[in-house]
Amino acid sequence: MLRTGIVHLHFDSTVLNAMGEFTVNLGKFKRTGIIASGEVCAIKEELPEPPSIKGSILLPSKGDLDQLFNSFDGTITLELGEHHFVLHGAWLSEHEIATDEGKVNVTFQGKLMEMLS
């Protein structure tokens, strides 16, 4: 997790009002050692889940909310200071609306995560 001040979040050309902390899963392989005869003799690689960006946004207008729900091939760009994460082929995987602050907890998953610095 990176913490670097102001967060900017874009879904395609729509700017989303980010709130609080965001987490990024680069979707890299999980590596586990395989032990035989008391020592590591190989490494098993598996991809536990697609790359993702998770956090909270301010409830967008109805049109923008419909765009989030109906897109299955979007681009999510998350800017954390000098780090930029671009999630390609993205869709809204999970959402939960909290009514007291009008925030939406969102998880975007995608096909490919690009990290630019």
What is the rounded distance in angstroms from the CA atom of residue 2 to the CA atom of residue 15?
21
- pLDDT tens per residue across all 117 residues of the chain: 545 556 788 888 888 888 888 999 999 888 889 999 999 999 998 877 899 999 999 887 777 778 888 888 999 999 887 888 999 999 999 999 888 888 899 999 999 999 997
Residue 68 phi, psi dihedral angles, 5° rounding: -60, -45
